[in-house]
Amino acid sequence: MKTKRSQLLLQEYGEIVTGGVHSNFRVPRYFKKAHGSRMWDVDDNEYIDCTVNNGACILGHGDPDVNAEVIKAVKKGLTVGVESEMSMKAARLLHEMIPSAEQVRFANSGSEAVMKALMIARAFTGKEKIIKMEGGYHGWFDEAQVSVHPDPATAGPANAPEPVLSTAGIRRNTKHNVLVTSFNDLGLLERLLAAYKDEIAAILMEPVMFNCGCILPKPGYLEGVRQLADKFKVILIFDEVVTGFRLAPGGGQERFGVVPDMSVFAKAIANGYPLAAVVGRKDLMELSRPGGSVLYGGTYNGQQSAVAAAAACLEKLKDGRVQQRLEEMTQKLSEEFQKRAKIRNIHAQLIHCGGQFQVFFTDHEIKDYRMAFSVDQRLYHEFFHAVIDNGIWFNKHYLFHHGVTYAHSDEDISLILSAFDKGLEVVKHSGK
């Protein structure tokens, strides 16, 4: 594919914009428009989008109903710093859809919302430490940047992972307040809770680990986490930034029938407009009310264009039809991918849930971060290049998650599978 214009833009702005991108999770390929399931870059290459705004785009790019409400909001002239009936409407929809949402407060991003949820948990319990999953990503702030994607060689044994700082620039003592456990391991979680029972404020986790690709909870695991949180009197926080509204109208907690004490939602909440929410039990959320013990501020919280987008988006998500369609599409991708890989005698699998998926080049069960880390990265890299060269916008990182939107058609799915075929052919002949 031609990339001349993107290369010129990188040369022109690369010294002004650090690295040529505003997030380290992006590549310097520049886009000019998107519609439905498709995106076009500045070199006029057309792609079927399978990164879907990192999971934020659930209805499709430029959904007309969402855009119409945003345009109405813009014309009214309200922007930030005040409340409106629209912000109340969006909050009510969250309250009605999400099992844990006795009360709701808006933020701007998943990182902000997780920070606020942890503040509330610490204030409520009077304790400092949190437990997170090894490999889990919950944003860019200090506590979240512990053991995101650590090299197991420096992260201790699998049955007792040690916290590892994931970036420079955070406080060196941060990891002393973060304990790390393995997803799907109730025994290790219980040992940590027992050993630090007077110090732990919260367990922070995704109900499905999409930030390691796609790792599903084993039967009974989430129920076991809920029971342990109750037993040791710690706050259970579900990070539903990615799982929210994709797995079910009420997120992963509805799909798996496990209700946390607090939850964080973002991304698909407004079909890509910048909005997040902290929701939870009333007695917890009340700590952050005006005059309460926990400060909850933010000029852009509940900005009017974003809450208008959310109100329109959530109306379309609340009956479950969108989620059913997403599940059907990724189920087909998974089944057909397995057939194609098996025919070529390639050890690979496409794991999916709620319209999100990832390809792993291994025949082992992926039950935790270390299993995901150990897959064949070289084969994924070769597969990725073949897929993107055949018009599917894919992510180069083997621990990323991909997805589809409600706007993806049956034809799109066929074209994605055709690109997968070409990618698997490259893998088949790799090294020969």
**3 state DSSP class of 163:** coil
CA-CA-CA-CA torsion sign (153, 154, 158, 159): positive
Residue 110 CA to residue 278 CA, distance in Å, equals 9
Tokens encoding 201: 């404020």
φ, ψ at 212 (rounded to 5°): -120, 25
Residue 138 CA to residue 136 CA, distance in Å, equals 6
Instruction: Provide CB contacts within 8 A for 160, sequence distance 6+.
Output: 188
pLDDT at 175: 87
DSSP string across 237-266: EEE-TTTTTTSSTT-HHHHHT---SEEEE-
Q: Do residues 348 and 362 touch, judged by C-beta distance below 8 A? A: yes
* CB-neighbour burial class of residue 429 (10 A; exposed 0-12, middle 13-18, buried 19+): exposed
Count of CB atoms situated within 10 Å of the CB of 414? 12
H helices within 161-250, ranges in order?
186-195, 221-231
Name the CATH architecture for the domain at 64-317. 3-Layer(aba) Sandwich (3.40)
Residue 57 CA to residue 48 CA, distance in Å, equals 13
pLDDT at 233: 97
Count of CB atoms situated within 10 Å of the CB of 427? 22
Name the CATH architecture for the domain at 4-62+320-428. Alpha-Beta Complex (3.90)
Residue 103 CA to residue 328 CA, distance in Å, equals 32
pLDDT at 172: 85
Q: Where are the domains of the chain?
A: 4-62+320-428, 64-317
pLDDT at 2: 85
Residue 421 CA to residue 228 CA, distance in Å, equals 44
187 DSSP assignment: H
pLDDT tens readout for residues 272-331: 999 999 999 999 999 999 999 999 999 999 999 999 999 999 999 999 999 999 999 999
Instruction: Provide CB contacts within 8 A for 256, sequence distance 6+.
Output: 207, 217, 222
**For the chain, which ranges sit under pLDDT 70?**
431-432
Residue 117 CA to residue 281 CA, distance in Å, equals 11
